[in-house]
Each structure stands twice: as structure tokens, then as C-alpha cells.
Structure 1
């Protein structure tokens, strides 16, 4: 039995139980519950949103363990190519943040878990410039990644893993406020991602250590298929490893985990953020068994500067994709993490 199999057998196999597992898991060190979506208002405007709830367990030499709860929130105005963000970080003291089987909250950001297939999201409810109040309803078709929900991020180092599931195609309605203007959301679809990792609490989890980086994308296509592609780098110098999940319209799930099954490469010029000066590859070609996606951003300026809360700056935004050979299109969200500010010509 090789090393990979031995390590996998040492994991605690986790069988998801819903709705309980929609909430946070206190015994793990790192966790995030994440929503993105495409929304259409009664006025015909098109929007995207991101709302990410994080939990990180800290520990010192005593028995006392603290949890912190960062939140990242953004709305992309696709019709006018504008992007606005907000964030917070709270600790589990003074009733400023917390969680139970029915909810997760941190400051002015709330996830209510109504049932296995129903959620209510509120963010920035006290803000006159940036907020959402959304109802989400699913069909019951939760997408589990990897064997028994164990999502390996690296074949070279299988200790880097998470328990991972997604909930695509959540029907979404409600309200949003952007720059003081309230919009009624009459139709929309959201994608939920939930991952947790590491029972160790004495140090930062392996998945989140400083040099890791990844290119992640979720896509829902026009024929009823759902995709996740994940291009992971253990360090800036490491060769990327690529993994994928596909669920076809009939509900059959395929996992791509072997080297060479997926080719995911940036194409064209990188976009340089005028704010942080970081360069990001926003156009991608993804070849997978049976097809090829060409991915482009809906607009470029969808960077999130989370340095005040999670110490990360990344690109997170709505994208569109085409597979001309299969005559289908898709929409989704792309996340690019681990890119650094490029040096100016005078820097060495």
C-alpha cells in the first residue's frame, strides 16, 4: 500500500448530515462557508455577489481556545461594471459572533440555516450603501467532492485536504442595496461551497499556510451540468496540481484526480490591479475529458483586498464560459489566491 493510501486511511472519514453540517464544526481548525451568485433585479440590472463566512481556531499554551470569524462580502454590478466590498472580523466574545446548528453570524453578517435546502442571508443590514437580504432554496442535489467528502488538494502531499461539498443552483430572491439604491431581486441562482480542515489548533492549518495558492472555479452550464476545477500550488515555486468534479444533468458525479486528466492554463494577457498592482490571469482555457471551456471575466475590476481580516488579497468575480465543441455556455465564479505584487522595473 503506497503512502497516499496510508495517509488517506488515517483520516477521520466524515459522513455529512444535513442540515447540521451546513453550520460550523468546532473540532476543526479552519473552515469557510461561502456563497456566490448571479442576480437579476426588477429593473433588469444584473448583479453578482460573494458572501464568505470564515472560522479559525486559535490556541495558546493554556487550555483556552479562541475562535475568530472573518467575513468577506462583495457585490458586482455587472450592468455597470462596478465592484464594492465590505469585511469584518469578530471574536467569540461579547456575543459579537458565533454559531449553532441553525445559524452563523459575525457582526452584521448572518447565515440562517432554515433546513437542509433553505437558507436566509443578510449582510450589511445597517448599511445604506452595501447590503443583501436573500432567500435561497435548493432542489436537494448537494454535490460531494472526493471519496466520502474528502477532497485531496495535492497528490504529492495528501495531508493537504478538506471535507468539502457544494450546493449549486440555489434559487435566490430578495433585495440588495448598492450605493444607496435598493433593488428587488426577482430571479437568481447561488452556489454554496463549504469546506473544513485540520483538527490541529496549535498552528495554522496546512491548507492555509502562507505560500499556498490556488485557482478555483465553479461553473453551471446551460444544459444542467455543474463543474468545479481546482489548480493548487503548495508554494510559489511548486508545479500546480489540478483536480476537478463534474456532475452531469442526470446526477452522475465524476472526479478527476489523476495528473493530466485536466489542463487548466491561463491564456492572453494578465490584468494588473490599479489599486494593489497585483497581476491576475483572468482568461483561462480548461480542457477536461469530453470538452473544453474558454473562460472570461464579466469585467476585470473584481479584486478583494482582505488584508484587514484574513491577510489575503485575491481576485474573486463572476465569469462566463463557452464550450464551442459541445455548443454550450456556463456562468460561474473564479477565485485567484496567492498572486503577489509584480516588481517595478527598478526593483530587484
Structure 2
């Protein structure tokens, strides 16, 4: 506990500044900013999507400081239950990737930061199988995690932390292309997550070590509440640590950080990917103070094989949830990382 207090004291002067902090932070070694959402087309078709921008900086402590910018992109057709993915990885050479004052880009993927509360995202991979252009507008209510946005992932090892905030309920409109068919997106809710860590770039990042794993879920309920649950495993040999954030419809934020406050465990059978042979638990029960969530995937086949970019294979997809005790429902996204047995993801 004393170690946690010391680290928090040393970081307590950090404060977010928007829209500046929506962009990448060159002084840090590990960072990701991603968008997921449930969206609806004028045709009535329902889709989920993921667009994740990553940034990793290496260093030899002297003159070698290359940065790489992977991107993961996926569309889940919730009507036909089909999942499509694309990815890239570019270096900061020839202006193929990077970040400027109001822009993050890598190859055919781009995030424009239009203001503190407005974003434009574009994904047009060369495969032409899927693409999107979306405009996202928030209500001003960003959601920091942990004290002053400092999110400690492990009480056992408080050095594993990130600066972390979310932006739930981004109203979403634009266009989507799937196998050559253009869809006009007239409504939807997106969720933005942004994390960065590892101030010293000549050390191997601890948050994303090859042995680490996590089960992350964001939920937006039909009463106006927003939830994040995070089940972190520093390695397969240790028991998971579980944390949660809840913002009620009135805007009051609660952080669940004590052992046992939140319980999150898989229920039912696992699903085994035909492509990778990895098994994932896609049904979950979450017990939190005052209620519970029963979470299930909208459909199973929402695995992302990032072997061509970050070398990670994980499951990330649209989910639905029910809280029978409070008679409310929710929609969101679930990410399962660490079920792949492989080398560290930066070993290209």
C-alpha cells in the first residue's frame, strides 16, 4: 500500500488538457487510442466497429528512437454475423505515419481531432473490402479512470499504470462500406478509449508484456450509466485483479478498486476459434455494488488476428448485457487479450 501512495504522490500533479491530450504523446513509449461502437444504417442494418491507433517508441538510450504506428480496423455485421478485419503498420518515414497537432495517421487510416468534443475517423484500406468515414460528437462528459486519470492496473505491482480516460456516448454518423456496398450511418453510439504509459522509452513496456493479459469491457446502459470493468493478469501464473469505473446518469463517478468490490468471471462454455484454435470465454457475469451484469457476445466470430502488425491475437467485439436485479440492459464492447501463447508483441 505504501508503494502505491508513493507513486500516486509523485504523479499527483498530472492533469489532462483537451483537446491537446487527445493526440499522441511523443515523450511516452507506449500508447493507444481507439474507437468502438454500435451503429445503425439508414437501411436498418446494425454494425459494430473497432478502429485502434497504436504508437510504440523504441530507444537505445542514445540516438536510435524509432516510432511505429500500427492500426487495427474491424467491422462486425451484426445482422449477418460476419466479421471483417484489416490492419497496417507504418513507421515515421516519408510521412507515411505520425501525429501532428490535430491529427493521427498511419497509411490509409486517420483520426482528426476537430475539438475537445468532436472527431473525424477514416479507414480506407487498400483491400477495399471494408471502409468507413465517421464523425463523432460528444456531450462534453469525458471519463477519467483512477485518481486524476492515473489508472493503476495492479496493486501487486503499482508500477504498471497508465494515464487513461474514456469518452462514452459519442453520437456517430457517416458512411460505411462493406464488400463494395455503401451504407449511410444515421445513428449510433461510439466509445473512445485513450491510454499512454512508460515514460522511460529504453525499458521494455510492462503494461503490454507478452505474458500479460486482460479482460476489458465497456457498457452503456439504457438508463444513462457508463461502466468500465478491467480484469488484469500480469502473468498466467497469478490470479487476476479486477477494477471498475461507473458514472451514473447524473454524472457522479465511482471507482471500484478494492479487492472483492467487483467480481468478474466467465460463465458457460468457451468458444474456440476455427482459425487460430484459441479458446475465449465470451459469456461473463459481473457483480458490482448494487447490481450485476450478464454479458454475452452478439455473435462469436469477432476475433482479431493482428499477426501482420502487432503480433497479437485477441477477441474484440460487440456485446449485449442484462442486469436482472435492476431491470436494465446495456450494449458495449469486450476485449480479451492474453489467451494467445506467443512472444512479446513488439518482436517483429
1:29 aligns with 2:29: yes
User: 2:108 and 2:136 mapped to 1: Cα distance?
Assistant: 19
1:312 aligns with 2:304: no
| TM-score with structure 2 setting the length | 0.96
Q: CA deviation at 1:63?
A: 1.9
User: 2:13 and 2:193 mapped to 1: Cα distance?
Assistant: 19
Q: Which residue of structure 2 lines up, in the alignment, with residue 170 of structure 1? A: 170
2:86–2:125 Cα contact (<8 Å) kept? no
Count the aligned residue pairs: 342
Q: Which residue of structure 2 lines up, in the alignment, with residue 337 of structure 1? A: 337
Q: Which residue of structure 2 lines up, in the alignment, with residue 325 of structure 1? A: 325
1:170–1:189 Cα contact (<8 Å) kept? yes
Q: CA deviation at 1:101?
A: 2.3
Closer, same or farther: CA 138–37 of 1 in aligned 2, 3 Å = same
Q: CA deviation at 1:202?
A: 1.1
Closer, same or farther: CA 61–247 of 1 in aligned 2, 3 Å = closer
1:103 aligns with 2:103: yes
Closer, same or farther: CA 110–23 of 1 in aligned 2, 3 Å = same
- List per-residue Cα deviations over 1:138-159 (Å, max 9, x = no partner): 0000001010110010011000
Q: Which residue of structure 1 lines up, in the alignment, with residue 77 of structure 2? A: 77
2:312–2:340 Cα contact (<8 Å) kept? no
User: 1:205 and 1:71 mapped to 2: Cα distance?
Assistant: 19
User: 1:296 and 1:328 mapped to 2: Cα distance?
Assistant: 15
Closer, same or farther: CA 99–341 of 1 in aligned 2, 3 Å = closer
User: 1:61 and 1:7 mapped to 2: Cα distance?
Assistant: 24
1:245 aligns with 2:245: yes
2:12–2:148 Cα contact (<8 Å) kept? no
Q: CA deviation at 1:308?
A: 1.4
Q: Which residue of structure 2 lines up, in the alignment, with residue 279 of structure 1? A: 279
**Alignment RMSD (CA, Å):** 1.3
1:280–1:315 Cα contact (<8 Å) kept? yes
- Greater alpha carbon shift after TM alignment, 175-184 vs 57-66: 57-66
Q: Which residue of structure 2 lines up, in the alignment, with residue 52 of structure 1? A: 52
1:15–1:148 Cα contact (<8 Å) kept? yes
Q: Equivalent residues in 2 for 1:290-301 (5 A)?
A: 290-301=290-301
1:35–1:191 Cα contact (<8 Å) kept? yes
Q: CA deviation at 1:303?
A: 0.1
- List per-residue Cα deviations over 1:30-49 (Å, max 9, x = no partner): 00001001111111000000
| TM-score with structure 1 setting the length | 0.96
2:37–2:189 Cα contact (<8 Å) kept? yes
- Greater alpha carbon shift after TM alignment, 220-229 vs 99-108: 99-108
- List per-residue Cα deviations over 1:201-244 (Å, max 9, x = no partner): 11321101110000000000000000000000000111000000
Closer, same or farther: CA 127–307 of 1 in aligned 2, 3 Å = closer
Q: Which residue of structure 1 lines up, in the alignment, with residue 216 of structure 2? A: 216
Closer, same or farther: CA 12–205 of 1 in aligned 2, 3 Å = farther
DSSP-derived class of the 1:18 partner:
coil
1:278–1:341 Cα contact (<8 Å) kept? no
Q: Which residue of structure 1 lines up, in the alignment, with residue 345 of structure 2? A: none
Q: CA deviation at 1:2?
A: 1.7
- List per-residue Cα deviations over 1:58-108 (Å, max 9, x = no partner): 112532311100000000000000000000000011000011220100000
User: 2:341 and 2:145 mapped to 1: Cα distance?
Assistant: 32
Q: Which residue of structure 1 lines up, in the alignment, with residue 8 of structure 2? A: 8
DSSP-derived class of the 1:207 partner:
coil
1:276–1:341 Cα contact (<8 Å) kept? no
Q: Which residue of structure 1 lines up, in the alignment, with residue 346 of structure 2? A: none
User: 2:223 and 2:325 mapped to 1: Cα distance?
Assistant: 14
- Greater alpha carbon shift after TM alignment, 127-136 vs 322-331: 127-136
- List per-residue Cα deviations over 1:175-204 (Å, max 9, x = no partner): 000111110001111000000001111132
Closer, same or farther: CA 311–125 of 1 in aligned 2, 3 Å = closer
1:283–1:294 Cα contact (<8 Å) kept? yes
User: 2:229 and 2:328 mapped to 1: Cα distance?
Assistant: 18
Closer, same or farther: CA 98–340 of 1 in aligned 2, 3 Å = closer
Q: Which residue of structure 2 lines up, in the alignment, with residue 346 of structure 1? A: none
